[in-house]
Amino acid sequence: MRLRDHSHSHSHSHSHSSSTSNLMTIRDAVAVYARKNKTIKATFLACLIEFSLPKKTQGTDYVVTVRIVDELLAELSVNMFADKEDHLPRLHSYKDLILLNDVMIKHYDGQVCGVFYSHSSSFALFDVQTNTNIPYQSSPRFRLHDLDIPSIQRIRTFTTQYQVSAGINHYRITLKDLGTKMFFDLVCQVLYVQRVWDGGCMLYVWDGKDAPPLHIQRSLEDEEEDPLPLEVEPTTLNMHILRKFPCVGTVLRVMAHVDMSVHFPQMGQWVKIRNMKCDQLESGLWLGHLLPTTKLRFLPDNEPTVIECKRALDERGLGTEGRLPLWSNPLSGLTVVDSTGFSFATLLDLITLTEAETIVRCVVRFVAICPSDVEGLRLENGEYRIILTLEDPTARIHALLDSHHGDVFFENFTSASDASKRMTMNVLLGCEGKDRNPPWIECCIRSNANRIYYICRTKLVA
């Protein structure tokens, strides 16, 4: 007798039946299929190494495509259909085990693959990190075989020797290469998953590189009515989460049409994302998208590409140069700073500093200013009250230029004509072409106890 696990139940007793398990290797199943030249049924116990995002079929079912590898290192893609999205497998961690019962082996799209139908097949997912034989997820029809237990333990031993690889292909890029391909693969760390509207989510991913700075397709005059956003996420992340992010390298925001949080119970998992795209927003921000054809592959911390990413971070973290944007050489020379004793920091360093009152040196772009007209930079009483939007590869912030620091900032322009001021400000804000492309400049930024930021100790030069 086989005992049934009701859908997602975690309690299993085991049958004492003397029936034998009908497990097959992938190679044997493919060979039998080739010999018979017709669809056959097979049962597999394997590592689940890659999965697609669930999507609705043209009928009423949902489908995901998973890729499995068995202990002979043979791989197979399996298209899994279920009447409910919850009945599809949801991998929790790297190299978890999947037991697939009664999968059809057939030709699809020119290749031999498995097809799982929820009305005739069943599956269970087992945590590879533990020794438990109780699945953390199973399909409604799943029944556990006593004689499958030794096989589960055997393949668990196999997984200690097996390592998933990111592989090499010409689609793979880093965040530094965004914009060079319309569709691409990315090896990155998933730092956080934020649920958003309509059941989707936003992934925060990072690979240690700086995304290229973008042209801003908005005029300065729009700033008062429709200011540039500081971020693309619907709600700002709280400080507790931001402080867990690396402070160098771009954290790319990536939209998914389904909730991916179930796949990332612990943050920091390295993945290879196959087939995604990234949009350049008119606000000058990047926004990634997972596609219906996207597949994800969990990677270990010691995978060579992952080690490469982490080594790049370690190298950048050493000394002053590590905090400078990769794209900022050479600096424009539009500013000079009195920076004695202040260390270089990224904007995310500044945002997440535990001591709120501080002064740091930053290399940034001035992407917006309010008010936008030179004549309005000073109030009638002669005081400055300017709001600047600054960005570097890690963040955007608003920084104030008040009277005390404004006098220093514009010291070289006290007797300059409005036309001369306007020309310099246009260069500073990148207003020399159809779209704005501000140069990189050095400045000092002071943060007060309320985390309001001020430009200080910085002088604009003609």
User: Which alpha helices (DSSP H) does 109-225 contain, by range?
Assistant: 149-161
Distance CA 286, CA 184 (A): 15
Q: How does residue 228 score in pLDDT terms, banded at 50, 70 and 90?
A: very high
Distance CA 168, CA 171 (A): 9
What residues are paired with 388 via a beta bridge?
369, 399
Q: Which residue has the higher pLDDT, 372 or 48?
A: 48
Whether 328 is covered by a domain: the verdict is no
Shared domain for 198 and 119, answered yes or no, is: no
Q: Which residue has the higher pLDDT, 231 or 196?
A: 231
Q: Residue 8 pLDDT more than 90?
A: no
Q: Tell me the mean pLDDT in the region 270-297.
A: 97
Distance CA 443, CA 332 (A): 12
CATH number at 82 reads 2.40.50.140
Of 161, 189, 212, which residue sits at a domain end? Answer: 161
Q: How does residue 181 score in pLDDT terms, banded at 50, 70 and 90?
A: very high
Q: Which residue has the higher pLDDT, 340 or 30?
A: 30
User: pLDDT value at position 201?
Assistant: 94
User: pLDDT value at position 452?
Assistant: 94
Shared domain for 35 and 86, answered yes or no, is: yes
- Relative to beta strand 184-195, strand 358-370 is unpaired
User: pLDDT value at position 251?
Assistant: 98
User: pLDDT value at position 167?
Assistant: 80
User: pLDDT value at position 284?
Assistant: 96
Shared domain for 210 and 145, answered yes or no, is: no
Q: Tell me the mean pLDDT in the region 86-102.
A: 93
Shared domain for 421 and 440, answered yes or no, is: yes
Burial class (CB in 10 A: 0-12, 13-18, 19+), 20: exposed
Q: Which residues contact 268 (CB under 8 A, 6 or more apart)?
A: 189, 190, 191
Q: Tell me the mean pLDDT in the region 76-84.
A: 96
Q: Residue 3 pLDDT more than 60?
A: no
Distance CA 407, CA 111 (A): 71
- What share of residues in the chain are helix, strand, coil (percent, to 5)? 20, 35, 45
Q: Tell me the mean pLDDT in the region 223-240.
A: 92
Shared domain for 309 and 257, answered yes or no, is: yes
The amino acid present at 102, given as its one-letter code, is D
Q: 245, 204 in Cβ contact below 8 A? A: yes
User: pLDDT value at position 266?
Assistant: 85
Whether 216 is covered by a domain: the verdict is yes
Q: Residue 196 pLDDT more than 70?
A: yes
Of 231, 440, 233, give the one whose Cα is nearest residue 335.
440
User: pLDDT value at position 11?
Assistant: 38
Radius of gyration of the chain measured on its C-alpha atoms: 28
Q: How does residue 123 score in pLDDT terms, banded at 50, 70 and 90?
A: very high
Whether 7 is covered by a domain: the verdict is no
Q: Tell me the mean pLDDT in the region 360-374.
A: 92
Distance CA 192, CA 20 (A): 44
Residue-wise pLDDT tens digits, 54-76: 999 999 999 999 999 999 999 99
Q: Residue 119 pLDDT more than 90?
A: yes
Shared domain for 74 and 195, answered yes or no, is: no
- Mapped onto helix, strand or coil, the DSSP state of residue 275 is strand
Percent of the chain surpassing pLDDT 90:
66
Whether 1 is covered by a domain: the verdict is no
Percent of the chain surpassing pLDDT 70:
94
Whether 259 is covered by a domain: the verdict is yes
Residue-wise pLDDT tens digits, 322-355: 789 999 988 899 999 997 788 899 999 999 998 8
User: pLDDT value at position 418?
Assistant: 78
| Locus of tokens 């700002």 | 236
Q: Residue 402 pLDDT more than 80?
A: yes
Domain ranges, residue 50? 26-161
Shared domain for 355 and 410, answered yes or no, is: yes
Shared domain for 153 and 179, answered yes or no, is: no
- Per DSSP, 109 falls in state T
Q: Residue 12 pLDDT more than 70?
A: no
Whether 324 is covered by a domain: the verdict is no
- Mapped onto helix, strand or coil, the DSSP state of residue 326 is coil
Distance CA 371, CA 386 (A): 7
Q: In total, how many domains does the chain have?
A: 3
Element (H, E) at 208: none
Q: 97, 48 in Cβ contact below 8 A? A: yes
Distance CA 227, CA 380 (A): 24
What residues are paired with 217 via a beta bridge?
none
Of 101, 130, 161, which residue sits at a domain end? Answer: 161
Shared domain for 123 and 244, answered yes or no, is: no
Of 318, 346, 375, which residue sits at a domain end? Answer: 318
What residues are paired with 253 via a beta bridge?
204
User: pLDDT value at position 422?
Assistant: 86
Strands (E), 221-268: 251-256
Residue-wise pLDDT tens digits, 165-178: 888 888 999 999 99
Whether 271 is covered by a domain: the verdict is yes
Shared domain for 110 and 205, answered yes or no, is: no
Distance CA 125, CA 80 (A): 14
> Around 155, how many Cα atoms within 13 Å sit in the side-chain half-sphere?
27
Q: What average pLDDT does the chain have?
A: 89
Shared domain for 209 and 306, answered yes or no, is: yes
- Mapped onto helix, strand or coil, the DSSP state of residue 316 is helix
Q: 72, 64 in Cβ contact below 8 A? A: no
Whether 116 is covered by a domain: the verdict is yes
Q: Which residues contact 414 (CB under 8 A, 6 or more apart)?
A: none
Q: Tell me the mean pLDDT in the region 111-139.
A: 94
User: pLDDT value at position 16?
Assistant: 34
User: Which alpha helices (DSSP H) does 368-417 contain, by range?
Assistant: 403-409
Shared domain for 365 and 453, answered yes or no, is: yes
| Locus of tokens 């079912």 | 61
Q: How does residue 7 score in pLDDT terms, banded at 50, 70 and 90?
A: very low
